[in-house]
Amino acid sequence: MDIVRQESEAPRPESPRRRRFIARGAVVSLAAASGAGVSTGSAQAATPDNLPPNIPQWMREPGTGFLNPAYGLPSPFEKTVLRKLPDQPSPFPTATRTPLQSLFGSTTPNGLFFERHHAGVPAIDPAQHRLLLHGLVERPLLLSMKDLLRFPAVSRSHFIECSGNSMAEFKAPGKGSVQDIHGLLSGAEWTGVRLADVLREAGLLPASRWILAEGADAAAMTRSIPLAKALDDALLVYGQNGEMLRPEQGYPLRLLLPGFEGNMNIKWLRRLKVGDAPFQTREETAKYTDLMPDGTARQFTFQMGVKSVITAPSARQVLDGHGFREISGLAWSGQGRIVRVEVSIDGGRQWQAAALDGPVQSRALTRFRFPWVWSGQEAILQSRAVDEAGNVQPTRAALIASDGQNSVYHYNAIQSWKVASNGEVSNVHV
């Protein structure tokens, strides 16, 4: 079986006409190339090509030796590609958002991975950190990081999404960018230990059904985890995109529950207590429950729904000209692999399959692409994801019809971006 990166059978740009990707201005005479300007001349301007091109300043003298030899940083020209606090100032900000509009592929750089804290970021000395495993087990364990690093390791790519991501869209279309609206979402390659392996060391007692997970932050962030998930694909992770976890992602140890809502992936993990029932913590009673139209609340809505969003073009961007451009975005599901993403450029009347970047992995960000030639007319761009369990991303109307508008969690409706005839892109509810 060949599992090198595959591209799906979805459309490549329709016709193999030449120079359909670029504006005619990019075709130059060499006379223009050897000077500073870019000709707007046509392909007919064939000229001798033995002239050297213009030599930029940065070729005239040696560059800096090593910018940051020990640990590198992005180019100063990328200084606007940053995580972002909410626009509304707060004395106690609790989240930063990932700049989805500026990123490529399916990896979120560690420096741009979104943050959500309940009591700030604790400064944990990994040599002092311990994980206590107790409760309904044969042998309580107190594990150091050194102990955990000696277990067999696994590396897997998974997304994490805050269950409150895009919550404001339940009410009205937000004015912000895709970062503001959907930026509580990131993905990484995680490395750690199977929770099942650690539980086996402790020996589960027959009555065990749930596990309390507690963080070592001042909030002692605490959630109940069903044992079935713990024994399935749960990991105790210490690695993120090849290096140790970042402080704001739980350094030195985090629970990873692939596909479950972000807050359950307990950061700074210090304690696992095995019990026979959910522990009914504050974060699963007063918070993180979903209020339905009939006044009841859903509890333990662990899995994130199937969802996708177009990141380019997206709100607050302005298209800089007509012609070919690629529509690109991310799709993900808490219930498995993405099997299909469809794109509409007319507000949902017609749909066409997008190409998926491979390898497509379970409960991981999947990049989709769709070729588009913008003629300059108004358009409504949408994407719709389908996962391997058969879940289809709902329209906003369908989501509200079933769940109402009181739940601030698990908003996964189709996102609509309106492209105006002047190229401005904005968030609309259609």
- 142 is a site residue for a copy of itself (CB under 8 A): yes
For 84, 107, 114, 179, the CA distances from 249, given in Å and listed in that order, are 16, 15, 9, 19
The SS3 assignment for 12 reads coil
Least distance (Å) from a copy of itself to the CB of residue 423?
A: 14
Residue nearer to a copy of itself on the CB measure, 331 or 399 = 331
- 59 is a site residue for a copy of itself (CB under 8 A): yes
Phi, psi of 260 (to 5 degrees): -85, 160
- 271 is a site residue for a copy of itself (CB under 8 A): yes
Residue 401: count other Cβ atoms within 10 Å of its Cβ. Answer: 11
Site for a copy of itself in 164-203 (CB under 8 A): 189-191, 197, 200-201, 203
Per the listing, tokens 């190229």 go with 423
Least distance (Å) from a copy of itself to the CB of residue 126?
A: 6
Stretch that binds a copy of itself, among 95-103, 162-170, 291-299, 396-404 (CB under 8 A): 95-103
Residue nearer to a copy of itself on the CB measure, 120 or 293 = 120
Figure out which of the listed residues 263, 371, 391, 413 binds a copy of itself, where binding follows CB under 8 A: 371
User: How many Cα atoms are found within 13 Å in the side-chain-facing hemisphere of 114?
Assistant: 29
Figure out which of the listed residues 40, 86, 155, 276 binds a copy of itself, where binding follows CB under 8 A: 155
Stretch that binds a copy of itself, among 152-160, 288-296, 303-311, 408-416 (CB under 8 A): 152-160
Residue 113: count other Cβ atoms within 10 Å of its Cβ. Answer: 22
Least distance (Å) from a copy of itself to the CB of residue 225?
A: 18
The SS3 assignment for 346 reads strand
- 239 is a site residue for a copy of itself (CB under 8 A): yes
Amino acid (1-letter code) at residue 136: L
Site map 289..328 versus a copy of itself, x via CB under 8 A? -------------------------------x--xxxx-x
Residue nearer to a copy of itself on the CB measure, 199 or 414 = 199
Alpha-carbon distance of 60 to 51, in angstroms, equals 18
Its sign, for the CA torsion 297, 282, 218, 277, is negative
Q: Quick check: 185 and 415 in contact, CB under 8 A?
A: no
- For residue 206, say if its preceding peptide bond is cis, omega within 30 degrees of 0: no
- 8 is a site residue for a copy of itself (CB under 8 A): no
